[in-house]
Chain A
Amino acid sequence: MGKRAAICAVAQVRNQPEYPHLRFQNMLLECFESIMEQTKVTFDMEKGIRNIITCSDDVFDARTISNNGVTDVVGAHFRGEEKMAQESINGLGYAMACILSGHDDVVLFMGHCKESQSESRLMCTNLAYDPFYCRPLGMDFRSADALQAGEYTEKAGITDEQLAKIVVRARRNGKKNPYARVNDDVDEKTVMSSPMVCDPLRALHCYPVTDWAYAMLIASEERAKEFTKNPVWMAGFGSCMDEYFMGDRDLASNFPLKNAAARAYAKAGVKDPKKDIQLFELSDHAAYQLPLWAEGVGIAGDGKGGAWIDEGGPDTFNVNLSGGHLNGNPLLLGGAARAIECFLQLRGEAGERQVKGVKRALAQAAYGGAGQHQAVLIMES
């Protein structure tokens, strides 16, 4: 095997509906100090951090070049700092590129999003759409997701009952995760009687508004042991951008995810994901996406997502034991949250939800409406 890049440490604040006493700089600072404490990494220009990657969103932060707001608290002055203005998991792909190219050997990667700052997250994602044709129609990530949900639930025979089961399971799993958003307990009946917000999406089918921040330290194979005894290796990364205009896409086909997964599997030497990967973290922004993405990464049969739910597929394949995106992460940061959960499981640090014998895990992220952009990261202990 050639050179590898490792995640050496992670830090996060708890996912919360709102941090009324902290601005995002304060949230990041707590993560920053935790990484410094855990790893003793320095900012020495020879041996320390020379490059920092951040992830944030201009619209959610109301600031052009949103990373300008955080350079102080991520230690970025007088060295490289670049922003991932895409789903956070791509920051890990970028950190891998920095390290595997030999340009850097230690990279700090931090991200934040305070969804509670905006009057409506839907107004923010509305701005992702074409200003002349799509925005005026009121398109946002939720209404786009609902188009996909309609197509997919019909194709895979997904019922309202199954979607309710997915929501209840996500909240049950979230209770075992000390960093998960605290949500009200719900049962299937409550989910099925929650208001229809965009047919077939009900209010409780959608992830709740969440504030969060995190940090990770990534290092080269040669340097990793300086910062941790248990590095987690990034073994394969693949991403794929589907077409922008909804009409150009086959929404229920999983085309971009299959593409991204195939590239990550080839890099990591995964032949059969059902056997070769012991844990999956999928970015289910809405309940219907759990079986859809499960099909996309190859642990549920094509168009068989409904049966897969009934057969207990999510527990068989250890999917979203963290509570998943559905329990609550900021939209932008779902991928980082998935990767951090894989990291904890691979290190045996997942507490009550720990799965025994996890050697390889998969973190998947989606961004844009209806999973337009997909990325898959394979991680190994």
Chain B
Amino acid sequence: MAEYWGVTVDDIFDTMQERFRPEGAAGVDAVFGYDIAGAGKWKLTVKDGAMKLEKAKDLAGCVASMVSDSETFVGVNMGKVDATSAFTGGKIKVEGDLGAFGKTGKLFRKYAPPKKEMSVKDYLADMFGTVVSRFKADATEGVDYIYGFDLGGKDGGKWTVFIKDQKCRLVTGIDCKTSVTLEFGEAKDYVDMILGKIDANSLLAAGRGAAIGDINIALKWGLYFEKYVDPMATGEPEQELLMLKKTISVNQAFVTGPIMGKFLNALKEKKIITNRCPKCGRMHFPAREVCAECRVRAEEWVEVGPKGQVRYMEYVYYSFPDPLTGESRETPYGMIMVLLDGCKGNDIFMHLIRSDQIDRIQGGRNEKSGTRVRPVWNEHRVGSIFDIKYFEIDE
């Protein structure tokens, strides 16, 4: 039987029973006929809120019958053909009592074609098959990147996408060095991620996916390609969701008070000073009003450092927006805990290490000293923690 929009005339009739609405049949007691050219004839009996459908040789005894060709019939049922214009254009005719036939409009829920499953293989074929058509040439001025996709599992495969001169080219396989390659152990995970069923971060965190190469380039994919549209999606969102963006901003000005003020002013003079607790002797970084452990004011000032040893350094790999500029920092960078000369125990000063030296830093342990470091002062000092640019190895 011929298919129109993937649906046959039989599909429509075979689902009538399940689409039947008893509440729409209240007070209807009639037999309707359907004469669909190229498909056959059907008799629909409606009585007492129930229906019966049968194939028929002729439509004698029907109060009204619809006469149509198969394509128009399927089209009207799927909402692809406008029923009114089909009727006025003569593509649909009603023989018999036209008013009575109008009641059939309320008898059924709208026909919806059954969803066909797409396999992982189908999806990959479609996702990569549409890459070039989804390419946004205007957004790639000056861009010269090569994206690799290495997707494992039985349905997996390898693809390379080249962006250069505002053109996009897709090649099966990976035969050259890429700017970044997305590797997934199971191709299904990649498909689910693109379809929005799994969150990318959780896949990365679980080690089920990885970006080999420059992850920042991977993150830019969305700028260069239209979002992939799932052909199985109905086109209507399941919920009416919007994303509303908000930025909160209230200008504020903080006075330092005498303790914080003294500490920050000393930085201007290239000095690191701290206040010592009169009871327990610990020193405070940053300097603050009281020793919180002894609950007494700490008003004795001591100059320490400015050199010291690294007790601990952490590598930071994620690109955190710099709070001062809003720009993403270069990664990785090293955040250090420095024990300045003259301090002991946990009297730790925190700052950054020169980024080209992060691989050379050793943390101290117990009595063993860590890498010796010294501050690099900013030429323009204003009384801020960045009056020290960073620390560097003292050599």
Could you tell me which A residues sit within 8 Å of B by CB distance?
19-23, 25-26, 29, 43, 59, 62, 71-73, 75-78, 117-120, 123-124, 127, 131-132
In the bound assembly, the distance between CA atoms of A71 and B289 in angstroms comes to 11
Minimum CB–CB distance from B251 to chain A (whole Å) comes to: 4
Residue B202 CB within 8 A of the other chain: no
13 additional A-B residue pairs with CB within 8 Å, beyond A29-B289, A124-B250:
A23-B257, A25-B288, A26-B257, A29-B290, A43-B295, A62-B254, A72-B289, A118-B250, A119-B251, A119-B253, A123-B250, A131-B244, A132-B244
Q: Is the CB of B255 within 8 A of A20?
A: yes
**Is B260 close to A, CB under 8 A?**
yes
Closest to A76 in B: B292
In the assembled complex, the Cα of A132 lies from the Cα of B246 at a distance in Å of 9
Does A26 contact B244, Cβ atoms closer than 8 Å?
Answer: no
Contact of B288 among A20, A21, A72, A132 (CB under 8 A): A72
Q: Are B250 and A29 in contact (CB under 8 A)?
A: no
- Residues in A with CB closer than 8 Å to B293 are 77-78
CA distance A325 to B251 in the complex (A): 25
Point out the residues of chain A lying under 8 angstroms from B324, CB to CB.
none
Q: Is the interface of A mostly helix, strand, loop or mixed?
A: loop
Q: Which of A19, A78, A123 contacts B255 (CB 8 A)?
A: A19
CA distance A124 to B288 in the complex (A): 27
Contacts known (A77-B293, A132-B244); A119 close to B252, Cβ less than 8 A:
yes
Name the B residues within 8 Å of A43 (CB-CB). 295
Q: Are B290 and A73 in contact (CB under 8 A)?
A: yes
Are the CB atoms of B251 and A23 closer together than 8 Å? no
Within 8 Å CB of B248, what residues of A? 127
Chain B positions 275 through 289: 1 when the CB is less than 8 Å from some CB of chain A, otherwise 0: 000000000000011
What are 15 contact pairs spanning A and B, CB under 8 A?
A: A19-B255, A22-B257, A26-B258, A26-B289, A71-B292, A72-B288, A73-B289, A73-B292, A117-B252, A118-B250, A118-B252, A119-B252, A119-B253, A120-B250, A127-B250
Quote the shortest CB–CB distance from B249 to chain A (angstroms): 8
Contact among B250, B292, B295 for A119, CB-based, below 8 A: B250
Q: With the chains together, A25 CA to B244 CA distance in Å?
A: 37
B244-274 CB contact bits vs A (8 Å, 1 = yes)?
Answer: 1010101111111111100000000000000
B297 is an interface residue with CB less than 8 A from chain A: yes
Tell me the smallest distance from the CB of B297 to a CB of chain A, in Å.
Answer: 7
Instruction: Give the complex CA separation of A6 and B248 in angstroms.
Output: 41
Chain A residues contacting B251 (CB-CB under 8 Å) are 118-119, 123
CB distance from B58 to the nearest CB of A (A): 63
Contact A23 B256 (CB under 8 A): yes
Chain A neighbourhood of B288, CB < 8 A: 25, 72
**Which residues on A sit within 8 Å (CB–CB) of B256?**
23
Q: How far is the CA of A71 from the CA of B288 in the complex (A)?
A: 12
Size band of the B side of the interface?
A: 20 to 34
Interface residues of B in 113-139 (CB under 8 A from A): none
Task: Tell whether, in the assembled complex, residue A23 and residue B295 are in contact, meaning their CB atoms are under 8 Å apart.
Answer: no
Chain A contacts of B255 at CB under 8 A? 19-23
Residue of A nearest to B242 (CB): A132
Complex-state Cα separation, A104 to B256, whole angstroms: 35
Please, which residues of chain B bring their CB within 8 A of the CB of A131? 244, 246
List A contacts of B253 (CB < 8 A): 117, 119
A349 to B12, CA, bound (A): 89
In the assembled complex, the Cα of A61 lies from the Cα of B228 at a distance in Å of 44
Cβ–Cβ < 8 Å partners of A21 in chain B: 255, 257-258
Expressed in whole angstroms, the minimum distance between the Cβ of B383 and any Cβ of chain A is: 14
- Please judge, given known A-B contacts A29-B297, A127-B248, A131-B246, whether A23 and B254 are in contact too, CB under 8 Å: yes
Measured between beta carbons, the chain B residues less than 8 angstroms from A78 are 293
Choose from A26, A72, A127, A132 the contact partner of B292 (Cβ within 8 Å). A72
CB distance from A153 to the nearest CB of B (A): 31
* Shortest Cβ distance from residue B43 to the other chain A in the assembled complex, whole angstroms: 56
Which of B248, B255, B256, B288 has the most C-beta atoms of chain A within 10 angstroms of its own C-beta? B255
Interface-central residue, B250, B289, B292, by most chain A CB under 10 Å: B250
What is the distance, in angstroms, from A16's C-beta to the closest C-beta of chain B?
A: 12
Distance to closest chain B CB from A303 (angstroms): 38
- The CA of A253 and the CA of B253, in the complex, are separated in Å by 39
Taking the closest CB of chain A, its distance from the CB of B254, in whole angstroms, is 6
**Nearest B-chain residue to A27, judged by Cβ:** B257
Q: Are A25 and B250 in contact (CB under 8 A)?
A: no
A140 shortest CB reach to chain B, Å: 12
| Chain B residues near A132 (CB-CB < 8 A) | 244
Contact B290 A72 (CB under 8 A): yes
Please name the 8 residue pairs, one residue from A and one from B, whose CB atoms are nearest each other, closest first: A72-B292, A23-B257, A119-B251, A26-B257, A77-B292, A123-B250, A117-B252, A62-B252
Q: How far is the CA of A124 from the CA of B257 in the complex (A)?
A: 23
B154 to chain A, nearest CB (A): 47
Docked Cα-Cα span, A124 to B250, in Å, equals 7
Shortest beta-carbon distance from B261 to chain A in Å: 9
B250–A62 CB distance below 8 A: yes
For the complex formed, measure the closest distance between the CB of A209 and the CB atoms of chain B, giving whole angstroms.
13
Alpha-carbon gap, A220 to B231, bound state (A): 69
Query: With the chains together, A123 CA to B260 CA distance in Å?
Result: 27
Most buried by B among A29, A71, A127: A29
Which of chain B's residues have a CB closer than 8 A to the CB of A26? Answer: 257-259, 289
Encoded as 1 (CB less than 8 Å from any A CB) or 0, chain B from 216 to 260 comes to 000000000000000000000000000010101011111111111
* Chain B residues within 8 Å of A19, by CB: 255
Instruction: List the A side residues contacting B250 at CB < 8 Å.
Output: 59, 62, 118-120, 123-124, 127
